[in-house]
């Protein structure tokens, strides 16, 4: 069993403890809700059961029998194939910036890259960063770390989201020691 599978199983056990409901009961709640869209089901679980974003998201993937990876990965596509889709069309100009940022991250040590729809999740024992095209022609780097005060550049995110901070990049010169320091802190905190 992979580290990610172990982590998911632990998270599902914790969800059962938090809600006081078995996985069968939770599946029934989702099925009886009549909701079909992933985001709608996740929001319902957050609202009705008091789950956080990550727990609700994992539960939806479990109930829907999806592991959360992109359809492309599930069919055996490589990370390069997925990146080709993510950085297609108008987003193609961001690919060199993505590659430069990933090169800096790879210097930190070993981690797992999990392709998702529209971005890459970077994980050790848990997700420490996510990287993908953002809005306004910028590359978005999401970071998970605690005890850091946000700045104009390191933008704190609302609690319950997938990342605690985001940094938006527009040029390779912004992959600088400050960014690498934040990435290192997130990397180390993830185990």
Mean pLDDT, 10 residues at a time, the chain of 191 residues:
66 91 91 86 91 84 64 60 88 95 95 85 91 92 92 90 91 95 95 85
Write down the pLDDT at residue 4: 57
Which residue is listed with tokens 């998270």?
A: 11
Q: Where are the domains of the chain?
A: 3-63, 74-189
Contacts of 108 (CB under 8 A, 6+ apart): 183, 184, 187
Rounded distance between C-alpha atoms, residue 108 and residue 111, angstroms: 9
Rounded distance between C-alpha atoms, residue 6 and residue 22, angstroms: 18
117 and 184 Cβ atoms separated by less than 8 Å: no
Write down the pLDDT at residue 68: 45
Of 3, 1, 13, nearest to 123 by C-alpha is: 3
Architecture category of domain 74-189 in CATH: 2-Layer Sandwich (3.30)
Write down the pLDDT at residue 76: 63
Of 25, 26, 32, nearest to 58 by C-alpha is: 26
Helices (H), the chain: 3-19, 23-33, 38-49, 53-63, 71-74, 79-86, 95-106, 177-189
30 and 45 Cβ atoms separated by less than 8 Å: yes
Whole-prediction pTM = 0.66
Rounded distance between C-alpha atoms, residue 93 and residue 115, angstroms: 19
């Amino acid at each position: 069993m992979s580290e990610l599978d172990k982590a998911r199983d632990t998270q599902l056990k914790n969800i059962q403890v938090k809600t006081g409901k078995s996985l069968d009961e939770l599946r029934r709640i989702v099925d009886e809700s009549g909701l079909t869209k992933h985001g709608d089901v996740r929001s319902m679980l957050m609202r009705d059961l008091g789950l956080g974003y990550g727990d609700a998201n994992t539960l939806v993937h479990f109930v829907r029998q999806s592991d959360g990876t992109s359809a492309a990965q599930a069919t055996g596509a490589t990370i390069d194939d997925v990146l080709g889709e993510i950085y297609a069309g108008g987003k193609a100009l961001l690919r060199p910036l993505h590659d430069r940022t990933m090169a800096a991250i790879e210097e930190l040590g070993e981690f797992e890259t999990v392709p998702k729809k529209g971005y890459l999740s970077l994980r050790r024992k848990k997700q420490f960063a996510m990287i993908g095209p953002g809005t306004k022609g910028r590359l978005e780097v999401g970071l998970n770390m605690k005890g850091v005060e946000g700045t104009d550049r390191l933008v704190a995110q609302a609690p319950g989201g997938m990342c605690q901070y985001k940094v938006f990049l527009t040029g390779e010169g912004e992959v600088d020691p400050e960014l690498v320091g934040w990435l290192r802190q997130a990397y180390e905190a993830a185990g």
